[in-house]
Structure 1
C-alpha cells in the first residue's frame, strides 16, 4: 500500500434533507480521494452526520417523534446522496453510534486530566441554528433591529450552568501553529480571518448544556451533555477507532485534510486544534474552507423557494456531468454559482462536443476502417508533438493543480490536451488519408487512441463512471488506470499483443438538453 492519506468532510446536520451545498462538498472530497488513490496513496475517506444538539431535539418534537427516530430517518438521505453521486467514502460516521459516545467521553476525560475543564455559569448569546455561542461584539443588527449572529441567524440570551474549556490558554499556541504551518488553514483568506480572530483574544468556551439532554453525556456530571461541536469534531477520530490509538488511528491520524464550508472554519481551526493540544493528540495537517455554491448568484433558502435537491439535479443532467461542472466551473475555495443553463452549456461544450465527440469519432474510425485492430505503427513528428502535449497535461499539469486543490485549473490543463487532439484530427484528416495514405491514417488514429487513454485516466477522479466506460471500450485493464500508468512506456505494445479488437463505441457523454421548466 502507498503512503496513507486521510480526508474528511464536515459531518452534515440532518435536520433537513441534503441540499446542493452538501453535495458540492461530498463531490469535491471524493475527487480528492479518487485523485490521491490514482496517485498511489492509501486513502481513508470519511463523511457522516452530526445528530445531536438542540436543533435536532426541537425538530423531532415538532414532528412528534423521538430524536433518534429523526436521526435514523434523515441520515439515510445523506447516505443515499453519497451513494447516488458516486462518492467513494470508506466510513460513514453517525454521532449517535455508541463508539462515538465512547470516543467523545474519553476525549473529555483527557481535557479534564489536563486541567482544562472547570464548572461555572454561562450567560451569553447563543444561536440555535448555528449551534454556536457569540460575543456581543460579533452580533449584527437585523432588519427589525433584532440581534443576529455573524451568519445572520437569530440568537437568544442563554443562562445556565456549564462546563468551560480553557480556550484562552491556547491563544499563543494557536498563533504559533499558524505562523509555523501557514498551510494549516487554506485558502489564505480564511487563514487571515482566523488569525485576526485569535489575535483579538480568546475567551473560554462553554462546552456543556443542561437545558436539553439530546447529546453525549458528560462523564461524572449528571444533567450535562456535551456542547454539540465538541462531540461533532470528535467524529474525525471516532472513525479511526479512538480511544484505541493503534490500527487505523496509528495509520491514518493526523488527517491530511479536513474539507469544510467556510462558515465553520473557526470551529475547525481554533476549537479543534486547541482541544487536540489539550488531549495530547496530533493536529490535522490542513483545514480547507471551501466557498458557497449559489443558485443563479443567490444563496439558497426556503423563503426564496430556490432550494435544489442535488439528486434531482443529477437525475436531470447525469451524475458525471454534474460532478464535472462543479469542479470545472467553480474556483475551489471561492463562492461559485450554478444554473441549469450553465450546466448544459459547460458540459455540452467540453464533455460532449470536445472530449466525448473526440472519443466517439476516433474509436468509430478505428472500428470501421481498421476492423477495430490495434497494431504497431510508424509515427511522424506531428504524432510525437501531440503525445508530448497530452502527456504533459495529464501527467504533469493536472496532477500538480489537483494536488493544490485547484480543480478548475487542472481541468483547464486537461482541456488543452483535448483541444490539441481535436486540432490534430482536423489537421491530419484521417477520413481523407483513408483513401490517399492508409498507413498514415492508421498512425494518426492509433496516436489518438494513445492520447485518449491518457486523457481518460487523468479525468477519471472527476467523472469516474464515464471514464471507466471509456477505458473499458479501450480495453485498458482495471489495474492499469492509475496515474502511475501514465508514465509507463510499454502499455500500448502490451495492449497490441492481446490481439483483442475494439468493438463499436458507445457514446460516453451525450449532449444535454435544457429542461423546459429551467428558465
Structure 2
C-alpha cells in the first residue's frame, strides 16, 4: 500500500473563510479521496495559521485578544472543512498546539546547526498583509502588488536565513522535476525570481513588533519566529515531526501541497530551501490553483460581493456546491462562480444526467426484474460499448493522476452521457415486452455502469456516491472494480429514490443572486486583469473580406483559437507561421468583417513599424507576467478596457505599468522597435 500525504495551505485566521478557501479544501479532498479509493494510505493535514501580525492587528481592531480572535476564526475554518467534506486527519492550530511549537523549534535548531541562520540589523519594506518583505522594484507605484497598500518601513535586529546559499540547488531541483510545480507554466515565474538572485531573508521579528504573539526563537526569547517559518512547518508537525517519529517516517515527504498562486514563492523557494537546510526531504509536488471571482468581479468587501460558503451549502447542499466549484472553475487558473451556474449545473448535469441514469436504471430493474440484477447474453454492440466506457475510465484516471480535476470530472460526465445514450438507443422499456432476455442483458450492463458511476463520483460528490452504493446494496467499491461486471446477476438492489434534487434560484429585487449584492463601482483595468498566454501560430489565411486582415489559428495551452489580426501589410503568412506570440486570451470575442476573432496578438507599434512580439523560449500555455505583480485576470474584457492598460516598449523591452514583462523565464523583447506603444 503506497502512502499519500497531502495538505491544504494553512490559512490565516484574521477573517472568516471565503469561497477561495472552500475551493482549495474541496480540491484537496478530491485528490485525497481519489487516492483512498485507489487503496493508498492517505494522510491529510490542514489547520489554522494563527501566529501572524495581521491576526494581532485584526484582534486589536475588534478590541479582543489575538487568542480570542484565533479561537473564534479557527473554529470557523474547522467548521468549513467539515462542511465542505474535507476528509482531514489533522487540523493543526499553530498558536495552541504544543506539538507544533516543539516541531518548528526543532526545525529551527536543525537549520541553525547547518550554519544557515545568523543575526543582523535590517531595514526593509514590509507588507503585513503578505507577511513578507519587498524590494522597492517589486512594488507597483509604491504599493504591495498583492494588497495594493503601501508597505511599512521596518528597521530592527532579526535572524536571517542564508537563502542565497541554495540558489543553484533550488534551480536544479525545479528544472529536474525533483520538486514538481503543477501546472508547469508556474515554474518559469519562480525560475525568473531565482535567476534575479536569491537574497537572504528575515526569519524572526522582535517581541515588541510581534506584540509578544507567536513562537519564540530557541534560546532567544526576545525574538519571535517569522510567521512563514512557523506556518510552513505545520506540514512537518502535522505529520509528527518532533512528536511522533514513527508517523513522520511513514508519511514525510509530502506528496502534494495544494495552494493558491499568491503564495507560490513561499512554497517553491523558501520552503524547500528550509527543508534542505534542516536535512529533511523536500515535498514531491505543489499544485497551484487560481483565484475565484464572483459573477465576473473580484471578491471585495467594498463591492459587497463576498460569498459565504456556509450559506451556499445550507441552501443548495454540499454536493451541488462541490460540483459547481469543480466543474465551473479551472483547476489551475482563475475562475468565476455564480449561484445561477450552480443551480443550472445541478439541474442540467447532476439531476438530468448522473441522477437520471442512476434512477431510471434502478427503478427499471425494480419494476421489471423484481429488484434483482438480471442476467443475459451480451451482444457484440454491448461489448463495444463497454470497451468505449473503459477508455473513459482510463482517461479519467490519467487526468486525476495529473491533478486535472475539472477535466477528469468532465470525462466522468462523458461516461454518464454515453450510458444514458446506450439506455435510449436500446429502448429496454419497449424491448422488455417482446424480448425480455435482451432487455435483461441491457439492464445487466446498465447496473454495472451505475456501479462504476458511483465509484467515479466518490472523490467529487461523496454524499451522492454513498447514496448510490446504498441503493445498489453494496459496500463502496474500489478503483480496481471499475470496468468489471462485478455487480452479479441475482443481486438484490435496495429501494430506489432520487439521488439529486432540482434547485431553484431565488432572486433579489435587483435580479442578482439572493446572497450576493453588488454596487455599481467600475474598477479601472490594470495589467493584473489581463490574461496573457503564449500561443503558437499554426496556420495563417487571408481574410476573405479585408486585404489588411489575416485569420490565424493559434495553439494555446487548452486548445486552438481563431484570431483575426491586421498584419497582412507587415508579414507574409510564412513569416508568421510557427511564431510563438502573446495572446490577450480574455478579450471578448468579436466579429471582424464577418469573421469571429477570439483574442488578440500583442504587437509593438512605432510610426509605420509594426512588430509582433515573439517569445520563442516559452511554451504554449505559459503566461506572460510582470515582475512583482500577481495576475488576477478578469473573465472577459473589452478592447476599450484593454487599451486602458499602460503597455509600452522601452529600450527594446516590454513594460506594463513600469514593470518588465516576462515569458518563459525571460524578458519579452522587441527585435526592431526600441521605443513604442503596444496593441
**Alpha-carbon distance in 2 for matches of 1:62, 1:385:** 66
**Alpha-carbon distance in 1 for matches of 2:243, 2:75:** 28
Instruction: Look up the match of 1:506.
Output: 497
Structure (1 or 2) with the larger CA radius of gyration: 2
* Kept in 2: contact 1:162–1:208 (CA 8 A): yes
**Which of 399, 407, 417 is the aligned partner of 2:415?**
417
Counterpart mapping for 1:32-51 below 5 A: 32-51=31-50
Matched, 1:233 2:228: no
Instruction: Look up the match of 1:99.
Output: 99
Cα distance, 1:467 vs. partner? Answer: 0.5
**Which of 421, 441, 444 is the aligned partner of 2:442?**
444
**Alpha-carbon distance in 2 for matches of 1:492, 1:360:** 16
**Alpha-carbon distance in 1 for matches of 2:175, 2:492:** 58
**CA spacing shift, 1:88–1:56, aligned 2, 3 Å:** same
> 1:135-157: CA deviations, max 9, x gaps?
1110011xxxx533444243111
Matched, 1:170 2:166: yes
Instruction: Look up the match of 2:611.
Output: none
**Alpha-carbon distance in 1 for matches of 2:386, 2:417:** 12
Matched, 1:270 2:269: yes
**Alpha-carbon distance in 2 for matches of 1:183, 1:217:** 30
Cα distance, 1:391 vs. partner? Answer: 2.6
Greater CA deviation, 76-85 or 176-185?
176-185
Instruction: Look up the match of 2:628.
Output: none
Cα distance, 1:381 vs. partner? Answer: 1.9
Instruction: Look up the match of 1:403.
Output: 401
Counterpart mapping for 1:47-446 below 5 A: 47-96=46-95, 97-141=97-141, 146-181=142-177, 184-210=180-206, 211-212=209-210, 213-244=212-243, 246-394=245-393, 396-446=394-444
Secondary structure (helix, strand or coil) at the match of 1:492 reads coil
**Which of 429, 454, 457 is the aligned partner of 1:456?**
454
**Alpha-carbon distance in 2 for matches of 1:201, 1:308:** 40
**Alpha-carbon distance in 2 for matches of 1:364, 1:404:** 36
Secondary structure (helix, strand or coil) at the match of 1:378 reads coil
**Alpha-carbon distance in 2 for matches of 1:360, 1:488:** 21
Secondary structure (helix, strand or coil) at the match of 1:512 reads coil
Matched, 1:485 2:481: yes
Cα distance, 1:115 vs. partner? Answer: 1.1
* Kept in 2: contact 1:297–1:337 (CA 8 A): yes
> What TM-score comes out, normalization by structure 2 length?
0.73
* Kept in 1: contact 2:129–2:147 (CA 8 A): no
Pairs aligned (count):
506
**Alpha-carbon distance in 2 for matches of 1:68, 1:331:** 37
Cα distance, 1:279 vs. partner? Answer: 0.7
* Kept in 2: contact 1:138–1:150 (CA 8 A): no
> 1:349-395: CA deviations, max 9, x gaps?
2111111111111211111122212232112222222222223222x
Cα distance, 1:33 vs. partner? Answer: 0.1
* Kept in 1: contact 2:290–2:335 (CA 8 A): yes
> 1:84-143: CA deviations, max 9, x gaps?
1111001111111111111111111111111111111121110111111111110011xx
* Kept in 2: contact 1:134–1:149 (CA 8 A): no
* Kept in 2: contact 1:130–1:153 (CA 8 A): no
**Alpha-carbon distance in 2 for matches of 1:420, 1:154:** 55
Secondary structure (helix, strand or coil) at the match of 1:147 reads coil
Higher helix proportion, which one?
A: 1
**Alpha-carbon distance in 1 for matches of 2:437, 2:172:** 66
> 1:474-499: CA deviations, max 9, x gaps?
11223xx110122555x223xx4xx5
**Alpha-carbon distance in 2 for matches of 1:438, 1:224:** 80
* Kept in 2: contact 1:215–1:226 (CA 8 A): yes
**Ranges in structure 2 where 5+ consecutive residues have no aligned partner:** 514-679
Instruction: Look up the match of 2:559.
Output: none
**Alpha-carbon distance in 2 for matches of 1:12, 1:110:** 25
* Kept in 1: contact 2:178–2:284 (CA 8 A): no
**Alpha-carbon distance in 1 for matches of 2:378, 2:354:** 23
Secondary structure (helix, strand or coil) at the match of 2:346 reads helix
**Alpha-carbon distance in 1 for matches of 2:180, 2:416:** 35
Greater CA deviation, 215-224 or 499-508?
499-508
Instruction: Look up the match of 2:472.
Output: 474
> What TM-score comes out, normalization by structure 1 length?
0.94
**Alpha-carbon distance in 1 for matches of 2:498, 2:243:** 49
> 1:42-66: CA deviations, max 9, x gaps?
1001111000111111122222222
Cα distance, 1:432 vs. partner? Answer: 1.1
Secondary structure (helix, strand or coil) at the match of 1:45 reads strand
> 1:168-199: CA deviations, max 9, x gaps?
11111111111222662221221110000010
Higher strand proportion, which one?
A: 2
**Alpha-carbon distance in 1 for matches of 2:461, 2:234:** 29
**Ranges in structure 1 where 5+ consecutive residues have no aligned partner:** none
* Kept in 2: contact 1:119–1:164 (CA 8 A): yes
Greater CA deviation, 385-394 or 267-276?
385-394
Secondary structure (helix, strand or coil) at the match of 1:269 reads helix
**CA spacing shift, 1:261–1:445, aligned 2, 3 Å:** same
**Alpha-carbon distance in 2 for matches of 1:49, 1:244:** 19
Greater CA deviation, 379-388 or 78-87?
379-388
> 1:325-368: CA deviations, max 9, x gaps?
21122221111111011112222221111111111112111111
4+ residue segments displaced more than 3 Å: none
* Kept in 2: contact 1:149–1:155 (CA 8 A): no
Instruction: Look up the match of 2:601.
Output: none
> 1:194-238: CA deviations, max 9, x gaps?
000010001110111111221110111131101100000000000
* Kept in 1: contact 2:100–2:234 (CA 8 A): yes
**Alpha-carbon distance in 2 for matches of 1:379, 1:486:** 18
